[in-house]
Homo-oligomer: A and B are copies of this chain.
Amino acid sequence: MAKEITPRAENYSQWYNDIVKKAGLAEHSAVRGCMVIKPYGFAIWEKMQAQLDRMFKETGHMNAYFPLFIPKSFLSKEADHVEGFAKECAVVTHYRLKQSDDGSGVVVDPEARLEEELIVRPTSETIIWNTYRDWITSYRDLPLLINQWANVVRWEMRTRLFLRTAEFLWQEGHTAHATSEEAMEEALRMQDVYAQFAEEHMAMPVVKGSKTANERFAGAVETFAIEALMQDGKALQAGTSHFLGQNFAKAFDVKYVSESNQEEYVWATSWGVSTRLMGGLIMTHSDDDGLVLPPKLAPIQVVIVPIPKPDEELNEIAARLKEELQALNVSVKIDLDDKKRPGFKFAEYEMMGVPVRIGIGKRDLAQGVVEIARRDTKEKMSVKVEECVTVVRQLLDEIQNNLMQKALDFRSTHTTQVDDWDDFVNVLEEKGGFISAHWDGTTETELKIKELTKATIRCIPQDQQAEQGKCVLSGKPSSGRVLFARAY
């Protein structure tokens, strides 16, 4: 099986597609641009969802559900928003089909044309703020802290599984606040939640920063992002949190009466992560043998394989180990298939990224030991049966930490401080990764750099050091470095 994966060094993009396919994560559907998320891929997404949902609730948010459709006119109400989102989208124009006259199938019934077209939501600020108008009247109704798990559609011409698809799954938080300060705090809090999730659960280090005006969400005053670095040296925007100011409140006339009895427009944030995170997860850790998963997000954390094949004695030990591991909240699968050989199974679970494999072999057992193999480093060790559970439990934490450390190391060796344009171009071509460089703060320079190199400003890091310098392209003065990279 593993042999069928294209090595990263040969063709990174094909390697990614191979992993997504061979590990059974997702595939293209009959509908252009829409993917099918397969059961194993969905099980990983469910673990991500469950953890994020927990973190949203711990920070005071509740879930709700708003309509799939947005009246076309809503999109025009916020000027920047319409520019950003009312372009490539799925438009519902009719509400009925009928049998064709020749009986060969169904056709759109021309009489069932909608008075106003409906857009399949590309994001829900407009329909939600139209709803909030009725929900908010007083400062007592604030803050309103709501999240929605939903599917959204943005018509994309060039799609890649998980990274860019016409339909994708995501969550979108939409909060309303009495003051600018509170809304800003919320936007930053959720960026923190995303960063914590990415690092502690996905073992994917991220840089926290603000987007430049040019890269901002359409309708936002400020966009905060978390940016990760993939193994091919390209950056991935993994989540964004927007301070929307009063833009949507003004567009949808959402006001509240303050404690001092003043009528004021409400302040807003929105924030989202999507199935795109799956792409980031895959590209951060996986290798030429298949998927590598951090234990915290692995649907199967441990697989037990009886060797050479299942029998009563081996199965009994496997069942006992499984029970003991499950008592420690470890998810375990015992592979009782007697038609496949152990070597085949090993390759299969490596492909699936199962973090730990326990091989229970006849001969090993005679010595009172089992073989434990870790997916991340491929190391194997012989462990006494009675110590197996303790060792595995520790090993899962160790793997989680090791993946994070490895990704951190990769990022630090692939973040280069550059002060000169030729170096900028060379580093980008030869090494890739993040380039920390001075920028003069103008959109003109930013776009020029993008045009020349395809690199964009990923973010203005929140931990940016004040440092006088000259813009790497224009030579104009700059007061701090920003992070450039080519990106997904």
Contact = CB atoms under 8 A, between A and B. Distances in A.
Nearest to A38: B64
Interface residues on A, range: 35 or more
Contact of A31 (B34, B65, B69): B69
A243 to B, nearest CB: 23
Interface in A116-173: 117-120, 127, 130-131, 146, 150-151, 153, 155, 167, 169
A34 B68 CA distance: 8
A273 B62 CA distance: 23
A37 B149 CA distance: 12
A40 B300 CA distance: 33
Interface of A: 29-31, 34-40, 42-43, 46, 62-76, 82, 86-98, 105-106, 108, 117-120, 127, 130-131, 146, 150-151, 153, 155, 167, 169
Contacts of A98: 87
A42 B70 contact: no
Contact of A97 (B64, B91, B167): B91
19 contacts: A29-B131, A34-B68, A37-B64, A38-B64, A42-B62, A43-B62, A65-B169, A68-B167, A73-B105, A75-B97, A87-B97, A89-B96, A90-B95, A91-B95, A91-B108, A92-B120, A95-B155, A97-B119, A150-B151
Contacts of A71: 30-31
Given A64-B37, A131-B36, A88 B92 contact: no
B87 A31 contact: no
A36 B65 contact: yes
B151 A70 contact: no
A31 B108 contact: no
A42 B67 contact: no
A402 to B, nearest CB: 29
Q: Which of A62, A69, A127 has the largest number of chain B CB atoms within 10 A?
A: A69
Contacts of A97: 72, 75, 86-87, 89, 91, 119
A75 B118 CA distance: 22
Nearest to A76: B105
